[in-house]
Copies of this chain bind each other. A is one copy, B any other.
Amino acid sequence: MKKLWEGRIDGKKDASVESFNASIGFDKRLYNEDIIGSIAHAKMLSKIGVLTVKEYESIASGLEAIRQDITAGKFTFTEELEDIHTHIETALRERIGDAAGKLHTARSRNDQINVDMRLYLKKYIDEIVRELISLEKTLHSIAAAHTKTVMPGYTHLQPAQPMVLSHLMLAYFFMISRDIGRLNDCAKRLDMLTLGSGAFAGVNYPIERDMVRSDLGFARISENALDSVSDRDFIAEFLAGIAILFTHLSRIAEDFIIFNSNEYRFVELADGYTTGSSIMPNKKNPDMLELTRGKCGRVFGDLISVLTLMKGLPSAYNKDLQEDKEPMFDAIDTALATIPIVRAVLETAAFDKERMRESCDRGYMTAVEIADYLVAKGLPFREAHNIVGRIVRHAVTKKKTFAELTIAEYKSFSDNIGDDIYDAVKPEQSIQRKVSMGSTGEASIKAQLVQAQGLIERFKSDIKSGSY
C-alpha cells in the first residue's frame, strides 16, 4: 500500500531511510493490542452510524483473521510498510476492500500507538507482578522453614549480630512487596483510554469514548487530547519501577554470590543454576546471579533512554517518541526472564546451617551480650565495654571462640563472670532477646510471616482476573 502521505512526495524513499524510519522490527509485538483497539473503535463507529453494521462486521472478522495469521506466524512483515498499523491496515484492505479505509475515521496513528502501548503494558505489568508473587511465595516458604536457622548478620560486610535466616528472606520479601506496590500504582495511573484524541485536537465526530473505554477495559478516559498523544509518563514510571526492582534483585544476587563463595560456603547453589568445572567439582559459578546483577545496567539504561528522549520535546507528537518502545520491551523481557530465575535459584539453594552457625562464633557476634551480662551483674556500661573489648582481643589472639574460652580465661578479665556466660554467648540467646516488632526474634518472625502471607493474598486478588 502506498503510504498515505506519499501523495505529495515526488521521489521514492531510499531504502536506508525506510529502514531508519521503520518501527515494524519492534512494534509488531503490539499486533494483538492494535487489532483489539481497532475492533473496539470500529464497533463504536457503527454505534454512531459512521459504519454500517455490515461494514463493522466485515472489519471485525477481517481483523480477527489477520490476528490469527500473525499469531500462527503466517504473516509477512516488511520494512516498506513501516509500522504495525500500516501492516494491519494493508492486510485488511486486501481482505475486505475499501471499507478498510473507513476504519481510520475519527482516529489517528498517534491515537493508535498510545492505546496499543497502554494495553500492552497493562497486561505485562500483571505478568511481572504474577512472577513477583511467585518469588514472594518462595521467599515466604524458605522463611517459614528456617525460623530456627541461625546465621550471621553483617553491616559493612563485617560481623554484627546473629539472626535467623527467615529474617533475611523476609527482608527480601518486603522489598519485593514495595516493587509490586509501585508497579500496581503505575498500572493504575496508565489505565486510561487515550483513543479519540485524533492528532491532538480531538476529532470532528461525536465519538463515544466511554463505550470504547468499557470495551477495552480501561478505568478512565484521558482528559486532554494534546497531552494524551505525547504522554509517555507511564513508560518512564514503569521503567523506574523496574530499575528499583533490579536494585533489589542485584542485592539478593550479591548476598548469594558472597554466601556461595568458598570462604563463606553458607549456601550451595543447585547444579542446575550454576556452571562449573569438570575437575573442580567444588567450583560452582553463580552465573545466574551474576547476570541478574549485571542486568541492572540494562534496565537503568532503558530508564535513562526514555527520560532523555522526553527532555525538551515540543508539545504534541514528535517522531522522537518512536524510540520509546524498545526500552519498554527490553525491560519487560528482562524482568520476565530474571524474576523466575532468581526464584528458582533461591528455591533450589541448600543452606549449610553448620557453617552459618560457626561463623557467628568466629565473628564474636555476641560480644554485646557479654557486655549486657556484665551490666546486669552491676558493672558500669563503659567498664563492661572495656572488658568485653579485651576479651575479644584475647580470643582472637588465641584463635578461640567465646564458647571455647575456659571459665578461667573469662574470670581473668572479670570476677563477675560465671558459668552462665556460656549461655549468654550463644547466638540463639541473642536472637531470643530480640523482642521488638520487626526484629529477628521469634515472635516478630512469626508475625512477619503472617503479614507476608496477607500481602501475598492481597496482591493476588489485586490482579484483575479478566483481561482483554
Contact = CB atoms under 8 A, between A and B. Distances in A.
Given A11-B271, A167-B201, 10 more contacts: A153-B316, A156-B319, A170-B226, A196-B438, A202-B434, A240-B303, A258-B261, A300-B308, A301-B327, A307-B308
B185 A314 contact: no
Interface string A431-460: 101111111110010001001100000000
Interface stretch (A55-63, A117-125, A333-341): A333-341
A338 B156 CA distance: 18
A201 B432 CA distance: 11
B291 A297 contact: no
A368 B258 contact: no
A326 B101 CA distance: 40
27 contacts: A5-B275, A11-B271, A19-B337, A20-B291, A154-B316, A157-B258, A167-B201, A172-B227, A198-B434, A201-B434, A203-B439, A207-B437, A240-B240, A247-B307, A250-B312, A251-B315, A263-B263, A291-B323, A293-B320, A294-B309, A294-B320, A294-B323, A297-B305, A300-B305, A301-B308, A301-B327, A308-B311
A96 to B, nearest CB: 17
A411 interface: no
B312 A155 contact: no
A113 to B, nearest CB: 13
A76 interface: no
Interface stretch (A29-37, A357-365, A416-424): A357-365
Can you tell how many copies of this chain the complex includes? 4
Interface residues of A, number: 175
Nearest to A9: B271
A178 interface: yes
A280 interface: yes
Contact of A9 (B173, B276, B291, B435): B276
Question: Which of A4, A207, A240 has the most C-beta atoms of chain B within 10 angstroms of its own C-beta?
Answer: A240
Contacts of A110: 155
Contacts of A171: 224, 226-227, 315
A4 B284 CA distance: 14
Contacts of A296: 307-309, 311-312
B280 A204 contact: no
